[in-house]
Structure 1
Amino acid sequence: MTNLLTAADLGRLIQAIRNEGYQLYGPVLEDQAIGYSAVNSVADLPQGWTDEQEGGRYRVKHRTDKAYFGYAVGPHSWKKYLQLSSRPVWKSSRVGQDVEVIELKEEAPKLAFLGVRSCELHAIAIQDRVLIEGDYPNNSYHDRRTKLFTVAVNCTSAAQTCFCTSMNTGPAVTLASDLTMTEVIDGEQHFFLIESGSEAGLKILKQLPLRNSSAAERRLATEAVDRTGEQIRQGPRHFDSSDLKELLYRNYESPSWEQVAERCLSCANCTMACPTCFCSTVEDTTDLSGEHAERWERWDSCFTADFSHITGGSVRADTRSRYRQWMTHKLATWHDQFGSSGCVGCGRCITWCPVGIDLTEEVRTIRNLEQP
């Protein structure tokens, strides 16, 4: 049977997770956006808030109810806690005539994520394939990922920029999570249907005041998620992705790349907000004495001029080639490299583009220009 947790007992779930030694992160209203930050109690959650999103536009506003998870996704993704945006790799010091190099390895904390959407679970799975199962694994990511505890939430609210239905990544949670919840508000009723997907999740459930849900309560939860899916499918961003890889391969020289380049700022916002972009670089620094040096790994982007720089110059010297590289890699060549699309349909690249470039619109443009 599916368990029911009343909204009044949500705080007990938070404390149960924290009592197991996890550093808990979840949705928090800060800087006029709903982002992910430390959660110490239920009071930290953005209860009664939602978001409005469009191309190049994001606003938060009050809801008409007291939903805790009644928003879509914010500017940040969970990757900032798994693939750190900046971390030291090694440091070295001169000792006499010798140089001592010390590899820097952190003790990975026990992380717990509260409010992970289905598209974001897919994004984490994609990064797993790249940073753990790929040819060049990232040990820092691996150590943090293996200790992760996730509380997934089925989407009962969507933004205008969502297109997870096109990428088959939502709104219902389809990948494994330690716990999975659906928030239901119906008149005076406010509760969560909650299920465990692991032994760690079951251990948490045993600490909560739960009861078995009724068929009517389960129907309310299913209908709420189904409505969200239909809202996205009927929305402006849903598109046919069945032949996306072949479409982009056929149109590598499409005039659409020139058109989008006239608007693109090469600012890299889309790659920074994207939950699957993984590009990084290393920087070596030394102090003024020359006795100490360090190497740091930090996020990078294919939109920067230096990213593809080799002897003789940059491989992708103009905005046209950089945008084409990002979009064709994300939607097409990623399949060949990692066995899936690199896009989960979260819509962040649309919302947080300063000039409102819309990936779904670019797909339609390419398709239309291909027609005789």
Structure 2
Amino acid sequence: MTPAFTGTAFAGAAVAVSAAGLAIAAVNAVAAPRLRADRPVTEPVTVCVPARNEADTLPLLIADLRAQRDVPDLHVFVLDDDSADATGAAAAAATAGDARFTIESRAGDPPSGWLGKTTACARLAELAAGRDGILVFLDADVRLAPDALAAAAGALRRLRVDLLSPWPYQVAVTPAERLLQPLLCWSWFASAPLPVANHGLRPSMAVACGQFLVFDAAAYRAVGGHRSVASCVAEDLELARMLRRSGRRTAVALAGHLASCRMYSSAARLRDGHGRWLWTQFGSPAGAAAVLGVAALGYTIGPALARPRRWGLAAFGCAVTSRLLARRAESGRRLATRDGLDAATHPLAVAGLAVLTVDSHRRNRAGSITWKGRPLATRARIAGP
């Protein structure tokens, strides 16, 4: 194979992959549902917050929940999951005696075959068993605008789904965050056309973000809730897939103007956080290699080796534009200069994701993955397609 032919082959692959991603992102920029505050919620809304070592972040979420509007029948259950810090005391102080909040503590490691988060969420679901209507799971590091819950509940019913995943704006501050965190939204925004993904029942096209999940309470219980995904690292995605397998619809909606989350505040935490679940993606190491190979053709190696060079530049332009469309939609606000600078690093970001994925598989094989002081790999399983 001559170098010229190789460059042309890379050019064709790069342009095809990146242009397809841009086309899907353009469709989603127009068609993706967005949360909107419109009317008061007339049914019960129950919020469940699992919290482990969240003494600094949990009070901020509690303050946001206390400020919610147009949710007259609201109750919040908070579970302090064997924290080593003052999470429980911080939660109690933040609620200030608000009768809408119930705080419970749980001690000890998860039972055999369970992970920490699924254990905590299943316990919270038990506490909420006497309440019907809408069941919400929120991570402790999520921030909410005052209309967020009402808008999410309204969207669940307006879209006629059993699970709505409002996608929060992923806050990125440090260089590592700015490089990689925007890929979370871009990865589905440029690959899953929502007019198809949100309206079908194909499990492989489900999109979910465990930071903010809104369920029809009866549907959640009908599929077994978190008990049915006890050992899944990606329990959010597996719950969405289970609902679809049972004939129930799920959807993702853009919520960045009403909800945000800063997942990891350092490069080390980002590596550990992504490392705990990236090994579960794409079904197997072979599946991960195939997906990352296509990504490399479209966004890293392909554009770099494409000949003529204008093809490589075209592929790079498509990649940057798709990422900007995803970031604009995710944030719900105008793009800033830094967004453009971050998008220009897209080839490095995709390469960084590949490195993190390989590292996650390596650590999983070694049994060395931990999260918040607990081992994961020895008891976790991969969600089904």
- TM score, norm. by length of structure 1: 0.23
User: Which protein is bigger by CA-based radius of gyration?
Assistant: 1
Larger RCO: 1 or 2 (CA < 8 Å, sep 6+):
2
Whose helix fraction is larger, Structure 1's or Structure 2's? 2
Whose strand fraction is larger, Structure 1's or Structure 2's? 1
